Chain A
Amino acid sequence: MSAVATSSTLRRDLGLVAWQVRYEQRAYWRNRIRAVFTFVFPLMFLVIFASINHSTRLSSLGGIPYDDFFVPGILAYGLIATTYVNMAISTSLLRDMGVLKRMQGTPLPRWAYIAARIASTVVIVLAMTVITLGLGVVAYGVHIRASTLPALIATLIVGTAAFTTLGIGITRFIPNSDAAPVVVNLTVLPLTFISSIWFPAAGMPKLLRDVANVFPIRPLADGLERAFNPYTHGAGFSGSDLRTLAIWAAVGIFLMLRFLRQPQGETG
């Protein structure tokens, strides 16, 4: 009896997750400013930088075309913007407006709500990936190779898991939604400059590289860039990069669960 009830409840709840994803999607794309900030911005950078450096070759990476480096770099940046930045800003806003509190008073299970928010983010990441790589292939002569495709996909999955959960988890440390963009940019922007997003980190002082290695942005960018680097032999998997990303995903999940366990309203 209870097993039957449980499986039918689960089916209903999964239906609710799918239902909620539709509304999360609508809300995301209708909020123009946020969609521009998290979705259009990275694509704009791609077009600008790739246009400026179109014919450049990167000597520090053995002379590969700039686009082969920058398209995956901007994909990493776009992934962070649509997951971490978007989640941190929107979740702290939902918290401050009392939406999380309202949701808590409904029969929608918390896990279902958060699963829907995450699933909706995955949809956005997929759109970002398709557009970035589509532009890269069509306009900037980048090649998607079958040999490195599994590594590319694995990096995208673990990276999305890490940055989405970190985006939710960081909300605990964001005092109010006005502070969200500041906290988010403070934690992301400086790291992007030492993490092979805008230019290769190859020539950088060891100290900066050591710092970048601790955080998840460098492994994400390198993991994606390796998949597009014409000199990459074999599948392009890097155990240490994936491990670092997985550790950050674990940290993100831990922080996210702590944020979720804290009841809304008890803070007041």
Chain B
Amino acid sequence: MTTTQPRNEGPVIEVRDLRRSYGEVHAVRGVSFEVARGEVFCLLGPNGAGKTTTVEILEGYRTRSGGEARVLGMDPAQGQRELHERVGIVLQQSGVQQDLTVAELLEMYGRYYSRRRSVDELIDLVELDAKRDTRAKNLSGGQLRRLDLALGLVGDPDLLFLDEPTTGFDPGARRQAWSTIRSLCDLGKTVFLTTHYMDEAQHLADRVAVMNAGQIIAMGRPEELGGRNLRPAEIRFLLPGAWSLGDVPDVPCVERTVEGDRVVVLTREPIVAAQRITTWALEHDVDLGHFSVTQPTLEDIYLELTRSADENDEAKEVVR
């Protein structure tokens, strides 16, 4: 595998106080972040949060109203050819020439790049072997999406933009796409991902930024986002009728409640707590039903973050 090193060893993407307004509408209001080489960086956020605007500024499709943006050390607004040579883009919705076949399209687009991956290798990678000589207009939605991914990779890019890459995939195809994307990072490629799927972000991203109303409201590793790792875990189980909450031994916890016939323990020491509860249960021969220990999911944190940001905004509106 021949991979040229990025010229500068600094961040692959560098964004400082990025702004974009459309008249009175401020779509992006001062966004800053960096993406390191070999990293999968994921931008999350509800519709209208400014994700697409941010990504399209970095891809060179839109201009910025203010702030700094560098992609592979270049200004994306300049539309330099060298940048296009080294960046692959998989847009959310973008068609191909309907009357050309899968192999022809990969061949045609491949020629634009001075460095390229072979048609066979790409078809293999996205598992479109059976559709090789099928015209684009006869492909299913999922097959088109896989063709999109292959076209994004045709120039063997250093940086790949993926806008909701697995929408419309069945679970098997998604797993396959994820492992393909992961394998790119092993080759030193950088991936900039936007997605609506929390499990996709959880699975792929090294770092996640949550955008809301044109600003980044949280950024970090998926397991640490919004203090997720510091949140109490939740232990839940069913207590048989003969026992009451008072019988369960004391464990280090934040809160201990009963929801119907279910006990809910919120604890920052889930291992200790679970061990004590289960030891007690075994010793006293208590059959604890549906015993589970869960951390808050990325989705819980995401919903909480975006909701509280909205509430803040509403509060501001009221003050005005």
Q: Which residues of A pack against B, CB within 8 Å? A: 16, 19-20, 23, 26-27, 30-31, 94, 97-99, 101-102, 104-109, 263-266
* Pair A106/B84 contact, Cβ less than 8 Å: yes
List chain B residues, Cβ under 8 A from A31: 98-99
Shortest beta-carbon distance from A127 to chain B in Å = 18
Listed by A's residue number, 6 A-B pairs whose Cβ atoms lie within 8 Å are: A31-B99, A94-B97, A99-B94, A101-B91, A102-B91, A107-B114
* Pair A265/B99 contact, Cβ less than 8 Å: no
Shortest beta-carbon distance from B206 to chain A in Å = 24
Shortest beta-carbon distance from B166 to chain A in Å = 18
Bound-state Cα–Cα, A106 to B109, Å = 8
List chain A residues, Cβ under 8 A from B68: none
- B12-51 CB mask vs A (1 if < 8 Å, else 0) is 0000000000000000000000000000000000000000
* Pair B94/A98 contact, Cβ less than 8 Å: yes
Q: Which of B54-62, B211-219, B296-304 participates in binding chain A?
A: B54-62
A23-B112 in contact given A105-B84, A107-B84, A266-B61 (Cβ < 8 Å): no
Bound-state Cα–Cα, A265 to B79, Å = 14
List chain A residues, Cβ under 8 A from B108: 19-20, 23
Bound-state Cα–Cα, A108 to B113, Å = 8
List chain B residues, Cβ under 8 A from A23: 97, 100, 104, 108
List chain A residues, Cβ under 8 A from B59: 105
* Pair B112/A101 contact, Cβ less than 8 Å: no
List chain A residues, Cβ under 8 A from B62: 263, 265-266
Give the nearest-CB partner of B108 in chain A: A23
Query: How many chain-B residues does the 8 Å CB contact rule pick out?
Result: 30
B184 in the interface (beta carbon within 8 A)? no
List chain B residues, Cβ under 8 A from A104: 60-61
B164 in the interface (beta carbon within 8 A)? no
The 4 A-B residue pairs with the shortest CB-CB distance in the complex, in nearest-first order: A97-B95, A98-B94, A265-B61, A30-B99
* Pair B99/A99 contact, Cβ less than 8 Å: no
In chain B, positions 105-123 with a C-beta closer than 8 Å to chain A are 108-109, 111-114
Give the nearest-CB partner of B56 in chain A: A265
B165 in the interface (beta carbon within 8 A)? no
B93 in the interface (beta carbon within 8 A)? yes
In chain B, positions 58-109 with a C-beta closer than 8 Å to chain A are 59-63, 81, 84-85, 87, 89, 91, 93-100, 104, 108-109
* Pair A107/B112 contact, Cβ less than 8 Å: yes
Bound-state Cα–Cα, A158 to B85, Å = 36
Bound-state Cα–Cα, A82 to B68, Å = 46
A107-B113 in contact given A31-B98, A101-B91, A102-B94 (Cβ < 8 Å): yes
List chain A residues, Cβ under 8 A from B151: 102
Starting from the known contacts A19-B108, A31-B99, A99-B95, 19 additional A-B residue pairs (CB-CB under 8 Å) come to: A26-B99, A26-B100, A27-B98, A27-B100, A97-B98, A98-B93, A99-B97, A102-B91, A105-B60, A105-B84, A105-B87, A106-B84, A106-B109, A107-B84, A107-B114, A107-B155, A109-B81, A263-B61, A264-B61
* Pair B97/A27 contact, Cβ less than 8 Å: yes
A101-B61 in contact given A23-B108, A106-B112, A107-B84 (Cβ < 8 Å): yes
* CB < 8 Å neighbour of A102 from B96, B98, B111, B113: B96
* Pair B113/A106 contact, Cβ less than 8 Å: yes
Give the nearest-CB partner of B152 in chain A: A105
Shortest beta-carbon distance from B74 to chain A in Å = 13
Give the nearest-CB partner of B93 in chain A: A98
Shortest beta-carbon distance from A96 to chain B in Å = 8
Shortest beta-carbon distance from B291 to chain A in Å = 50
A266-B63 in contact given A23-B108, A98-B91, A98-B93 (Cβ < 8 Å): yes
